[in-house]
Structure 1
Amino acid sequence: MDLIPLVFPWILGVAVLFIIRFIHQRPQAKTPPGLRPWPIIGNLNLLTGSSNTHESLHMLSQKYGDLMLLHFGSKPVLVASSPETAKLFLKDHDAVFASRPPTAIGEYTFDRSDLVWSPYGSWWRRGRKILVSEVFTPRKLESFEWLRAEERMALISCLYSHAVGKKPVFLRDHLMRFTMSTVTRLVSGHKYCNDNPESRGSVTMKKLQEFVDEWFLLSGAINIGDWVPWLNRFDLQGYVKRLRALSAEYEEFLEFVIKDHREVMDKAGKNFVPKDMVDIFLQQADEDHDDPEAELTPNRIKALIHDMFAGGSDTSAATVQWAFQELIRNPSVIERATEELDRVIGRERWVEEKDFLQATVRGSNHGRNIQVAPARHAASARLLHGGLQCRGVRGGEGDHGSRERLVCRKEPEGLGESGGVRSGEVCGE
C-alpha cells in the first residue's frame, strides 16, 4: 500500500501521454497496393532473382495495378507502370521527384557532386546551365567538328583494314575506343590519355576505359547497404572497398588534368583562350557567383569531367552498337539506307554531320528503349494522388527515415510481341 503514492504518478503520466498522442495522431493515409515484404530484405528478392528487374516489375504491375508499393530492404518503393502515372511523377510533380537518394555510389562519385547523383538544388541547376550554355552550344560543337571527323575517319580506316584482311571484328571494342578517344580530346585534350602517356599523371586509353567501365558496373550493382542502412558498415559484398579503390585512382588522374590545365591558364594570364571543356570549367570557377551553394569547387569540376567521360563514351558506343545490330538483322534496311545515301549524298564525298542534322528521321527509337534503368530519383515532399499517399508512409515532413522511393516503369501501348517492355527506373528516397 505504501508504494501506491509513488507508482500512481508514473501510471497517470503514461496514461496522459497515450491520450495526447491518440488525440493528435494524424489519420493513416491509404497507401498503394503491393507485395507483402519479407523481414529485413523486404522485396529485394525481386532485384536479385532476375537479370531483368523491369520485367519482374512488369509482371507484378499486372496484378497490383499502375501504382504499387514495394519495400527494398527498409526503403518504401513506388512503382509506376503506365504512361499516365509516369507523367504524374516525372512531369506534373517533377520538382518533387527531381532529386537523388543518398547512395554509396553517389558518395564516392565526388561526394554527390556530379549531375547524376547530385541532389536537386542550386548546384545541380548551375552545373546543368554551364553544360547547356557554355559547353553544348551550337557554336562550340561546330568548332570541334574537325576533331570528330578525324576520329570518324580513324574508325572507318580501322574497320576497313579488318574487312579487307577478312579478320573478325569485335565492334564493341572499336566503338568504345572511338567514342572514348573523341570525348577525351574534346574534354581535356589528347596528351592526358593515349597509348603512350607523356607524363607520370597521364593514363592509357585502356586504363581510362577501365575507370569508366568499373564505375558503370558499380552504378548498376545492388549494394545491400543502400537498402538496409544498418548493414552498410559491414560492407558484406566488398562494394564500398571497390568504390574506394576506384575513387582514389580515378581522382588522382583527374586532379592531375585540372592542375596541368590551371598552370597553363595562369601562365597565359589575360591572353588565355579556352581550348577544351576543362578550360571552360576553370574559367567558370573563377567567376564570382552569388550563391555559395552553387560554387564550382575543384570536386565539382572533377565531377563534371567524369560526367563527360562516362556520358559521352559508353552510352554512345552502346547506341551505335545497337544500331549496327538492328541493321544486320534487317538486310532490307541496309539496302534502303545505301540507296538513299547514293541518291542524296552521292559517292563523291563522305557523309558529314550537317547531312545528318538536315535529314528527316522518322520512327527513331520507336518501340525500343536503349536505356532500361536510369538513375533513381528522390522525393522531397509529400504527394497525394487519388486518395493514395505517395511519399512519407510514416512520420512528418523532414522525416528522412520514411521517405519513399519511386520506380517508374513506362510501357507505351501497341508495342507488340517483339517490342518487349519499354521501361525506366526512377527511384528516389
Structure 2
Amino acid sequence: MDFSQYESKSSQEIKEVISGLMKVGGMPNLVDFFPILRPLDPQGLASQGKVCVEKLFAIFDSIIDQRLQKRAVSSSYDIDLSTQNDVLDLLLDINFKDGHELSINDMKSLFMDLFVAGTDSISTTLEWAMTELIRNPKKLKITRFELMKCMHTKRETLNEHDIPQLPYLQAVIKETLRLHPPGPFLVPHQAIHDVEVKGFNVLKCAQILCNVWAIGRDPKIWSNPNAFMPERFLESKIDYKGQDFELIPFGAGRRSCPGLNIAHRELHTMLASLIYNFEWKLEENMRVEDLDMEEKFGLSLPKNIPLMAIPA
C-alpha cells in the first residue's frame, strides 16, 4: 500500500497515529517516578498510547487481510495474483511454514517499529534541513551548485553511490543532525552494572538518558554552537557512525540505531532531490527571518510550526 500521497485518507491517518505515539512516548510520566500509581494512569498516557497502537494495528490488520485474500484467490485458481515479493509476503511465508516462529501479532509489532522509527525521524530531519537551508540562501546555493556539478558529470539521477562525492551535502546533513537530532535523548538505556563516570556513580539497572541535543550545542565542543555552519564539518573527520561522541544522533556501540544506514541513504538522496529539482520560496510576504524555529516536545523534536515552502 502506498502511503506517500499526502492528500489520501490512509496517509493522513497513519501520520496522525504515529505523531500521537511520538508525543505520548516523549512526555514525562509520573508513574516512572511513582510506580505505585501505574494502575491509575494519572496522566492518561497509557490509555492514549493504547488507543494509538490499536489504530495502527487496525491499519496493519486491514492490509494483511487484503493480502491473505489475494493469496487465497491465487491459490484457488492456481495463478499468481498476489505475490509481490515484499516484506509482507516474506513474513507471511514464514508464518505459514511455522506460525509459532512468527505470529501475525509479531508481524504487526515489527511493522510498528518500522513505521514509527523509520518515518517520523526521517521526515523531521529533512524538514529541519530544508528550513535551515532556506534560512541560509548562500548555503543552499552552494549545495545546489555541488549537486549540479555532480549531475552534469554523470547525466543521470543521484543515487547512494554519489554521496561520497558530495562533501558539502554530507556536511549539511551532519550539521542538521547536530542542531536537530531526531531523538534528543536517544532511547532509554539501562546500566548492566555499577559504574563511575567522571565522579558520578551510576547504579546497576539505572535508566540512562543521553542528552545529544545538549552535546550538539555545547560551546566547549563547538564554536558558535547555535549557528548553522555546515563548513565546520568540511575540515573535520567527525561523523555520526558512533565512533565520535561529539556527534551521536544514532547512539553508539551495540545499542546504536539499527536504521543508521538506511537513514544515511534516505537523508542524502531525498534532500538532494528536493534541492536539485526545485527552487524553493516561502509563502507570500513571509521573510526567512520570520521562520519559526521552535521545537515541539516529544520523543522526537519536530518543528512546532511545520515548514511551508513552495516549489518553483
Q: What TM-score bracket applies, with the shorter chain setting the length?
A: 0.5 to 0.7
Residue 263 of structure 1 pairs with residue 69 of structure 2: yes
Partner of 1:407: 209
CA distance in 2, matches of 1:303, 1:344: 41
Q: Shift in Å at residue 303 of structure 1?
A: 1.5
CA distance in 2, matches of 1:405, 1:263: 45
Distance in 2 (CA, whole Å) between partners of 1:315 and 1:266 is 36
Q: 1:279 aligns with which of 89, 93, 96?
A: 89
Structure 1 counterpart SS, 2:209? strand
- The question of 1:370 aligning with 2:172 is answered no
SS at match of 2:174: coil
What is the alpha-carbon distance in structure 2 between the residues aligned to residue 277 and residue 417 of structure 1? 45
Structure 1 pair 190/409, CA: closer, same or farther in 2 (3 Å)? closer
1:409·1:423 contact (CA, 8 Å) conserved in 2? no
Matched, 1:190 2:2: yes
CA shift, 1:223, in A, is 1.8
Report the CA distance between 1:288 and its aligned residue: 4.8
Alignment TM-score, normalising by the size of structure 2: 0.57
Contact 2:194 2:201 in 1 (8 A): yes
Find out whether 1:322 has 2:128 as its counterpart: yes
- Is the counterpart of residue 215 in structure 1 residue 21 in structure 2? yes
Matches within 5 A, 1:168-247: 189-190=1-2, 204-247=10-53
Residue from 203, 216, 222 that aligns with 1:391:
203
Structure 1 residue 416 and structure 2 residue 223: aligned? yes
Distance 1:312 1:267 in 2: 32
Distance 1:328 1:313, change over 3 A: same
Contact 2:188 2:209 in 1 (8 A): yes
Alpha-carbon deviation of 1:220? 0.9
Match in the other structure for 1:352: 158
CA displacement at 1:311 relative to structure 2: 2.6
- Structure 1 vs Structure 2: percent identity of aligned residues? 18
Counterpart position of 1:113: none
Q: In 2, Cα distance between the equivalents of 1:388 and 1:354?
A: 43
Q: CA deviation at 1:425?
A: 11
1:220-239 alpha-carbon deviations (Å, 9 max, x no partner): 11221233111112222122
Cα–Cα, structure 1 residues 348 and 407, in superposed 2: closer, same or farther, change >3 Å? closer
Q: How many residues align?
A: 218
AA paired with 1:312?
G
Measured against aligned partners, the alpha-carbon deviations of 1:139-170 in whole angstroms (never above 9, x if no partner) come to xxxxxxxxxxxxxxxxxxxxxxxxxxxxxxxx
Q: Which runs of 5+ in 2 are unaligned?
A: 228-245, 256-312
Who is 2:299 aligned against?
Answer: none
Instruction: Please give the alpha-carbon distance, in whole angstroms, between the structure 1 residues aligned to 2:108 and 2:97.
Output: 17
TM-score, length of structure 1 as denominator length:
0.43
Aligned-partner Cα distance in 1 for 2:146–2:250: 37
Alpha-carbon spacing, 1:302–1:216, altered in 2? closer, same or farther (3 Å) = same
Deviation at 1:301, TM superposition (A): 0.7
Alpha-carbon contact 1:327-1:333 (below 8 Å) kept: yes
Secondary structure of the 1:204 match is helix
